[in-house]
A and B are shown apart, each in its own frame.
Chain A
């Protein structure tokens, strides 16, 4: 019973922990375990902070706000800061407790409001609610007679003696005698100040937590802090250890936010940090002057202003000249963001939203590609001409005097994707070989609409061969007509282009073709997404239905395994879909999740979270990329994000330099059987290897194997230096 309650309320406790770590954009539990005691260095501050978090998250739940946001700590962390602030400034008491309650809920309201108002601009609310919330309270509290200012820590030694006796006082004195250089002391004070704990000890602990959470965030905190220090020195601003510490965390937080969290960390983001930090300094100094009139501290306002402005500016970019990239999916750590981003770019940079197939059966040759030498120029440069050639490269038999001699003439032309027929011309005569019809340049033509501003055009059909009419719905692969020789076509060929407007003669749009085989010389090679080039022989892949049956995961699908070689003796995978339409496989035993992405003829795993000793993790590694269509003996290659193939604890050094250079690599290779799998029920054996590489040298090798028959997956094996797993599929 109690277990169920813990399970059901686990999201609440996650929200509690994340409310602490979210201050540093983290969801690291170890970090939380460090931060929570740090807030209790001043006991009452910590207590009111904690109460504040609990009140906020409960209120959010009662109001009916998104459980996901609560769990992420998005609402809790601002209230936490307000609670800490109140706790540190005022004497504890029932009145204060009541005030904390009000302040926490009010801060929640500000958070939600800002989420709505600036969320529209895809901007995070950061710690603005905290700044506003605490200001309001401080300004108004001056009128509250019932509140008394906190007098703790004014007589530090007395307090320490009460708290921990003589020994604590001795430790404190020893600590103070430690000759920590002023800049370093200031750095730690700044870190502590984020949690209203103005002590070096708190700062050291937070720094340690930050290092555990993220090496990149840690190095950025140094870069931001000392970058600003340098700026102060250059412009001759006054640096007092204590005064600087009160604003110093602004530089740290700005550096982490812009250098590595909201922007993928790289050399350019680091350089921008150096440029932006002085801006924060100027904002901090100028605001300090204005707010000083009201006896208000600037808190984290400079950080908020500059980060939001910077992120907003980035949204108006029309190209990627700046080399600053924002994340696709926030993985809550600069390292994870970086590794995922790089991997994503390697794998999917060229993927298109609407996958186009080649519009024919069998193997055709590109006789004019993009920017071709005959007609594919200027506005019409992104087009292809296709013909069929024999082994000697000839496109016709006999003398080639008649259209019928040409291999491509009279061959079926198919729809490249699902769509609606937008326009049809079907009554232009086929030319005699060698003649062109420049009056009706495009000849018999079909234009299809696949999506808004996305049309394809196929031209030079045989007269009267088009079987579709305007308004017809067609599906990918449906026969549309026959290749002919009408229009500007001296010999039969098929013209294919993508365009944004529905007119015959519209200018072309650069767009790739998905999942096809290319053959330059000799063997066929699978192209996931690419632009066929001149003289390449290209053909569509044919989907093997038994592979598709196994690896095309449909939400609701369940896979059960009997496992040997692992702690878990059985495993049950269920395919699920979340609110953001991300699809994933969940392991019922461990709760681990492996996220995937389905292309029409291919499956890619894109992310894994959870237990790395579960069967699902090994499955994720092995079924990382699988094409449903294959040629015999074909291989597929791919790479893993570093943090998902290496143990996160073992890449400490790599993390520090990851934004600039990555010496670790995880690569995937899948080998298809040496036979063509034309009949779905024949048994197929897919095996492959996974390699970890350091500076290009292989350090670890793993192998895996899938056995598939017509009924589904039979068996999955995995082995590396430590484990030898065999999972028999029982359902």
Chain B
């Protein structure tokens, strides 16, 4: 028989089973394994903290999203949003599943090429594209989504000096009823700027206009804005068809789908409130199918959702460094992963789980990271079992943005592993060492000691 876990005794106010205004007692089910691999074994082998990706989960989520859209619309394509997670192994799982690459910088563009994505299957977005990067993208026949007029003029110039017509689309921003409306990217729909850009492109002989793109925002918790976005883009596309007899090949509705994480300050948990792929798909496709596109001329629907595809497949496992009492008596637990690794903790109430069975005794606990910085708070206040030094924990749904936005601040970045569909673990990014950093630095001779 295994030895029972020892927990320090605490004194706690008795609540006689009646729900408080904060709801019933919260139970944090422990997460002891990922895809059948015990967390303990993982950390023994790869250290703590440790990012863990489940290949099975990625594929499952991708297929779910695909099914939701392709069973409603004849022609659907996903482009993997590199900025959400550009670990090569993760990207390649998506590429294997059939996703193209959506990149927003020259660096990401190169990364996609190195990953083996053919140039004509890369969508180049974003406000920052240098002339050289644009030229390369044109040579590679990538789809370039134009963000502003200056870029448009660059492309016209490149087109004039090249025998290849740049393949372009414009990014359109619009009022879809959400606040804040993102009007800093692309050309505005309501004030006619989008039409200005389209006119300019249609009259430029050396640009090939293939599509329209929008990205209405991030973490959109409703489906209505997508209906509005889809109908506005469809209207532009049909307008182009009647005005210039030009058939657009695709409509790129971008991303912004919410994952199941809970945003800070939101009462209901994300698992209950975030729309599903089915909901988003229904909103978008129903509008496009009913729009007046010619028979058999429905444009390809491109989706660039990142977060909703990868968030669930990423875990951060770690170890408790210490516990202490704050001055006000609140319990505090210091974890070995902080905001340096969990950039998303600035806007999510992360779901921290014990990685071994715990008793039901809970206490109000604050979770801090390892940084010697006051801002390094993961959760300010959580009813939580009493972890102690050395206890393992797992933070769920950390797949999106953390491995691209993590900081090499005070500590080094840890190992990242992926568990494949057979349950085998692969190291997909080695932890950084002092050499990793020092390699890039040089000290002038007169400063050498």
Q: Out of B69, B70, B121, which one reaches A682, CB within 8 Å? A: B121
> Which residue of chain A lies nearest to B100 when distances are taken between CB atoms in the complex?
A678
Question: Is the beta-carbon distance between B72 and A679 smaller than 8 angstroms?
Answer: no
* A360–B250 alpha-carbon span in the complex (Å): 21
Give B382 Cβ to nearest chain A Cβ, in Å.
28
If the complex has contacts A391-B60, A475-B295, are A681 and B208 also in contact, measured as CB distance less than 8 A? Answer: yes
* A363–B63 alpha-carbon span in the complex (Å): 11
* A411–B282 alpha-carbon span in the complex (Å): 9
For the complex, is A388 an interface residue (Cβ under 8 Å from B)? Answer: yes
Q: Out of A364, A391, A540, A678, which one reaches B63, CB within 8 Å? A: A391
Q: Which of B73-81, B356-364, B396-404 contacts A (4 or more CB under 8 A)?
A: B73-81
For the complex, is A36 an interface residue (Cβ under 8 Å from B)? Answer: no
A304-333 interface (Cβ within 8 A of B): none
For the complex, is A634 an interface residue (Cβ under 8 Å from B)? Answer: no
Interface-centre pick from B118, B120, B295 (highest chain A CB count, 10 A): B120
Proximity bits, B204-217, A CB within 8 Å = 1, else 0: 00001010000000
A490-549 interface (Cβ within 8 A of B): 539-540, 542, 545
Question: Is the beta-carbon distance between B120 and A682 smaller than 8 angstroms?
Answer: yes
Question: Is the beta-carbon distance between B60 and A678 smaller than 8 angstroms?
Answer: no
> Which residue of chain B lies nearest to A412 when distances are taken between CB atoms in the complex?
B72
If the complex has contacts A391-B60, A412-B289, A675-B118, are A540 and B74 also in contact, measured as CB distance less than 8 A? Answer: yes
A447-482 interface (Cβ within 8 A of B): 475-479
If the complex has contacts A678-B77, A679-B143, A683-B141, are A407 and B296 also in contact, measured as CB distance less than 8 A? Answer: no
Question: Is the beta-carbon distance between A408 and B74 smaller than 8 angstroms?
Answer: no
Q: Out of B120, B249, B282, which one reaches A683, CB within 8 Å? A: B120
For the complex, is A410 an interface residue (Cβ under 8 Å from B)? Answer: yes
Give A492 Cβ to nearest chain B Cβ, in Å.
12
For the complex, is A680 an interface residue (Cβ under 8 Å from B)? Answer: yes
Question: Is the beta-carbon distance between B210 and A681 smaller than 8 angstroms?
Answer: yes
Question: Is the beta-carbon distance between B210 and A542 smaller than 8 angstroms?
Answer: no
Give A310 Cβ to nearest chain B Cβ, in Å.
49
For the complex, is B202 an interface residue (Cβ under 8 Å from A)? Answer: no
Residues of B within 8 A of A476 (CB): 296
Interface-centre pick from B60, B74, B118, B210 (highest chain A CB count, 10 A): B74
> Which residue of chain A lies nearest to B71 when distances are taken between CB atoms in the complex?
A362
Does more than half of chain B's interface fall in helix, strand or loop, or is it mixed? Answer: mixed
Give B249 Cβ to nearest chain A Cβ, in Å.
6
Q: Out of A408, A675, A678, which one reaches B75, CB within 8 Å? A: A678
Residues of B within 8 A of A632 (CB): 98
Give A303 Cβ to nearest chain B Cβ, in Å.
55
For the complex, is B175 an interface residue (Cβ under 8 Å from A)? Answer: no
* A679–B123 alpha-carbon span in the complex (Å): 12
Question: Is the beta-carbon distance between A388 and B67 smaller than 8 angstroms?
Answer: yes
Proximity bits, B410-442, A CB within 8 Å = 1, else 0: 000000000000000000000000000000000
Number of interface residues of B (CB under 8 A): 30
Question: Is the beta-carbon distance between B295 and A679 smaller than 8 angstroms?
Answer: no
For the complex, is B300 an interface residue (Cβ under 8 Å from A)? Answer: yes
* A363–B70 alpha-carbon span in the complex (Å): 7
Question: Is the beta-carbon distance between B208 and A388 smaller than 8 angstroms?
Answer: no
Give B282 Cβ to nearest chain A Cβ, in Å.
7
> Which residue of chain A lies nearest to B296 when distances are taken between CB atoms in the complex?
A477
For the complex, is B224 an interface residue (Cβ under 8 Å from A)? Answer: no
If the complex has contacts A390-B64, A412-B289, A477-B296, are A676 and B98 also in contact, measured as CB distance less than 8 A? Answer: yes
Question: Is the beta-carbon distance between A407 and B67 smaller than 8 angstroms?
Answer: yes
A-B Cβ contacts below 8 A, count: 75
* A127–B21 alpha-carbon span in the complex (Å): 105
Question: Is the beta-carbon distance between B75 and A362 smaller than 8 angstroms?
Answer: no
> Which residue of chain A lies nearest to B250 when distances are taken between CB atoms in the complex?
A679
Residues of B within 8 A of A675 (CB): 118, 120-121
Residues of B within 8 A of A478 (CB): 295
Residues of A within 8 A of B167 (CB): 679, 681
* A589–B195 alpha-carbon span in the complex (Å): 49
Give B441 Cβ to nearest chain A Cβ, in Å.
41
* A680–B210 alpha-carbon span in the complex (Å): 9
Number of interface residues of A (CB under 8 A): 32
For the complex, is A122 an interface residue (Cβ under 8 Å from B)? Answer: no
* A577–B374 alpha-carbon span in the complex (Å): 82
* A388–B75 alpha-carbon span in the complex (Å): 17
Proximity bits, B280-291, A CB within 8 Å = 1, else 0: 001000000100
Proximity bits, B3-34, A CB within 8 Å = 1, else 0: 00000000000000000000000000000000
Question: Is the beta-carbon distance between A362 and B67 smaller than 8 angstroms?
Answer: yes
Residues of A within 8 A of B208 (CB): 681, 710
Proximity bits, A211-248, B CB within 8 Å = 1, else 0: 00000000000000000000000000000000000000
For the complex, is A68 an interface residue (Cβ under 8 Å from B)? Answer: no
Residues of B within 8 A of A390 (CB): 63-64, 67
* A683–B63 alpha-carbon span in the complex (Å): 27
For the complex, is A361 an interface residue (Cβ under 8 Å from B)? Answer: yes
Question: Is the beta-carbon distance between B71 and A363 smaller than 8 angstroms?
Answer: yes
Question: Is the beta-carbon distance between B141 and A542 smaller than 8 angstroms?
Answer: no
* A710–B77 alpha-carbon span in the complex (Å): 18
Question: Is the beta-carbon distance between B71 and A408 smaller than 8 angstroms?
Answer: yes
Question: Is the beta-carbon distance between A411 and B249 smaller than 8 angstroms?
Answer: no
Q: Out of A363, A477, A540, which one reaches B67, CB within 8 Å? A: A363
* A412–B286 alpha-carbon span in the complex (Å): 9
Residues of A within 8 A of B59 (CB): 391
* A478–B300 alpha-carbon span in the complex (Å): 16
Residues of A within 8 A of B60 (CB): 391
* A680–B209 alpha-carbon span in the complex (Å): 12
> Which residue of chain B lies nearest to A673 when distances are taken between CB atoms in the complex?
B118
If the complex has contacts A390-B64, A391-B60, A478-B295, are A678 and B300 also in contact, measured as CB distance less than 8 A? Answer: yes
Q: Out of B69, B71, B75, B210, which one reaches A360, CB within 8 Å? A: B71
Question: Is the beta-carbon distance between A362 and B70 smaller than 8 angstroms?
Answer: yes
* A542–B300 alpha-carbon span in the complex (Å): 10
> Which residue of chain B lies nearest to A631 when distances are taken between CB atoms in the complex?
B98
Give B288 Cβ to nearest chain A Cβ, in Å.
11
Question: Is the beta-carbon distance between A681 and B73 smaller than 8 angstroms?
Answer: no
Question: Is the beta-carbon distance between B73 and A679 smaller than 8 angstroms?
Answer: no
Residues of A within 8 A of B77 (CB): 676, 678
Question: Is the beta-carbon distance between A682 and B141 smaller than 8 angstroms?
Answer: yes
If the complex has contacts A390-B64, A475-B295, are A679 and B300 also in contact, measured as CB distance less than 8 A? Answer: yes
Give A229 Cβ to nearest chain B Cβ, in Å.
65
* A475–B298 alpha-carbon span in the complex (Å): 14
Give B205 Cβ to nearest chain A Cβ, in Å.
14
Residues of B within 8 A of A411 (CB): 71-72
Proximity bits, B159-188, A CB within 8 Å = 1, else 0: 000000001000000000000000000000
* A678–B70 alpha-carbon span in the complex (Å): 14
Question: Is the beta-carbon distance between B75 and A542 smaller than 8 angstroms?
Answer: yes
Residues of B within 8 A of A710 (CB): 208
Interface-centre pick from A391, A542, A682 (highest chain B CB count, 10 A): A682
Residues of B within 8 A of A360 (CB): 71
Q: Out of A363, A408, A410, A539, which one reaches B282, CB within 8 Å? A: A410
Residues of A within 8 A of B118 (CB): 675
Q: Out of B71, B120, B282, B296, which one reaches A361, CB within 8 Å? A: B71
B192-210 interface (Cβ within 8 A of A): 208, 210
> Which residue of chain B lies nearest to A389 when distances are taken between CB atoms in the complex?
B67
Give A392 Cβ to nearest chain B Cβ, in Å.
9
27 A-B pairs (CB sep. < 8 Å): A360-B71, A361-B71, A361-B72, A361-B74, A362-B67, A363-B70, A364-B71, A390-B63, A390-B64, A390-B67, A411-B71, A475-B296, A477-B295, A477-B296, A478-B295, A675-B118, A675-B120, A675-B121, A676-B77, A678-B75, A678-B77, A678-B300, A679-B210, A681-B208, A681-B249, A682-B141, A683-B141
Q: Which residues of A contact B (CB under 8 A)?
A: 360-364, 388, 390-391, 407-408, 410-412, 475-479, 539-540, 542, 545, 632, 675-676, 678-683, 710
Query: Lowest 3 CB-CB distances: which A-B pairs, in order?
Result: A362-B71, A362-B70, A682-B120
Known A-B contacts: A362-B71, A391-B63, A681-B208. Give 14 more (CB < 8 A).
A362-B70, A364-B71, A391-B59, A410-B282, A411-B72, A539-B70, A675-B120, A676-B98, A678-B75, A678-B77, A679-B167, A679-B249, A682-B120, A710-B208
